[in-house]
Amino acid sequence: MAAYIFRRILLMIPTLLGIMLVTFVIVQFAPGGPVDKVIAQLTGTDVSATSRISGGGSDFQGQPGGGGQPGAGGDSGNKYRGAQGLDPEFIKKLEKQFGFDKPAPERFALMLWNYIRFDFGESYYRNISVLDLIKEKLPVSISLGLWLTLLGYAVSIPLGIHKAVKDGSRFDIWTSAVLAIGYAIPSFLFAVMLIVLFAGGSFWQLFPLRGLTSDNFATLSVAGKIADYFWHLVLPITAMAIGHFTSSAMLVKNSFLDEIRKQYVTTARMKGLSEGAVLYGHVFRNAMLLVIAGFPGAFIGAFFGGSVLIETIFSLDGIGLLGFQSVVDRDYPVVFATLFIFSIVGLVVSLISDLMYTWIDPRIDFESREV
């Protein structure tokens, strides 16, 4: 097992390098960039709703090696749209400030060297280091990802088991219909419906509309803080969980149905074992192999993706919203740093998921497997 883990860790290095390289190359050909954005602000042509730029070029703190921009370096007089009439020296100063005065290979090498040392620089448009910015957004994303995953498993596992036992019954049919309808409704639309119904839209004012905590959170008791925290999470978690239940419940049901139809289950029943002993003593561990082993991946999926609209609707400033705004604003240090960190986490979680197979079923041996 140790040899397998070591091989997987070594494989992470070229994988991570490939992810960063492909993304960096794509960025080189992406239209716009930090310098273009500053020029658009100065000339009054930037209409981005998410832009956080204000003031002149001296307000921007660029970090070398933070990303790419088409044609960075060289003659700066003609390569930026809307730069006509601006002092070429000012344009060169902007390029140097954002790190675009160096060739692309040098910027990429410098970025990797900094990232290996976990030096992610500062955001272009916020007076804060990228690492501190990510730490600031983590509580929201961890809250959404953790509780969504736990709630999804707590509901979908018993529901999926019962659907498998009652396969083809009325319960199975109507629950499948409800899950299908819930899966078909976009989470953001369901979020709007919840706000209208329960957050003072047109009916009841039962839950808060925005934020993760109340304004008086610091003055509350420990029990009050816990209650206030979960009170704010009810609507966003509910909105995100609708589609999550469907896929998880159907996975559990299909896994149990596959195991129930196998010969060892028939043999166990012929030996006189009760249905409960057969279901939970023999079927459960084998059927839940894929489900439980996929828990780390499910958490990371809920943590990283699918929450941008929910965070926007409920004014939850998390990693999802940060990533979206950074891409729109061409805040390359934030974009590449989050990509680097998330890629490492994703690769580690993939390894943990494989190792969980051996914890659930010791018969699985990765030691003899080729990576």
List the Cα angle 296/280/248 in 5-degree steps: 35
Does 174 share its domain with 252?
yes
**Residue whose tokens read 């019962």:** 162
Domain edge (last residue) among 97, 125, 153: 125
Extended beta strands in the chain, E state: none
Does 15 share its domain with 156?
no
Burial status of residue 113 (CB atoms within 10 A of its CB: 0-12, 13-18, 19 or more): exposed
Does 78 share its domain with 99?
yes
d(CA 326, CA 124): 10
Q: Does residue 80 sit within a domain?
A: yes
pLDDT at 371: 47
User: What is the residue range of 77's domain?
Assistant: 2-125
pLDDT at 50: 44
Does 161 share its domain with 282?
yes
Question: Positive or negative CA dihedral for 19, 25, 27, 30?
Answer: negative
Q: Does residue 93 sit within a domain?
A: yes
Q: What is the pTM of this model?
A: 0.71
Q: Does residue 350 sit within a domain?
A: no
Q: Does residue 363 sit within a domain?
A: no
Does 239 share its domain with 265?
yes
Q: How does DSSP assign 128-150, residue by residue?
A: SBHHHHHHHHHHHHHHHHHHHHH
Does 68 share its domain with 157?
no
CATH code: domain of residue 200: 1.10.3720.10
pLDDT at 365: 63
Q: Does residue 360 sit within a domain?
A: no
Q: Does residue 353 sit within a domain?
A: no
Q: Does residue 167 sit within a domain?
A: yes
Beta bridge partners of 129: 122
Does 121 share its domain with 222?
no
pLDDT at 367: 60
Domain edge (last residue) among 102, 125, 148: 125
d(CA 68, CA 27): 6
Q: Does residue 343 sit within a domain?
A: no
Domain edge (last residue) among 101, 125, 149: 125
Does 73 share its domain with 158?
no
Burial status of residue 341 (CB atoms within 10 A of its CB: 0-12, 13-18, 19 or more): middle
| Number of independent structural domains in the chain | 2
Question: Positive or negative CA dihedral for 328, 334, 337, 342?
Answer: negative
Q: What is the CA radius of gyration of the chain?
A: 26
Beta bridge partners of 122: 129
Does 304 share its domain with 187?
yes
d(CA 273, CA 97): 74
Using an 8 Å Cβ cutoff, are 66 and 326 in contact?
no
Does 46 share its domain with 168?
no
Does 81 share its domain with 188?
no
Per-residue pLDDT tens, the chain, 371 aa: give them: 778 788 888 888 999 999 999 988 888 777 777 777 777 766 666 555 444 433 343 344 444 444 444 443 344 445 666 566 666 777 777 777 777 778 888 888 988 898 888 888 888 878 888 889 988 888 888 888 888 888 888 888 889 888 988 888 999 999 999 888 888 888 888 888 888 888 876 778 888 888 888 888 888 889 999 998 999 888 888 888 877 778 888 888 888 888 888 888 888 888 888 878 888 877 887 777 777 767 766 777 666 655 677 888 888 888 878 888 888 888 888 888 888 888 888 888 888 877 777 776 666 666 655 54
Does 82 share its domain with 155?
no
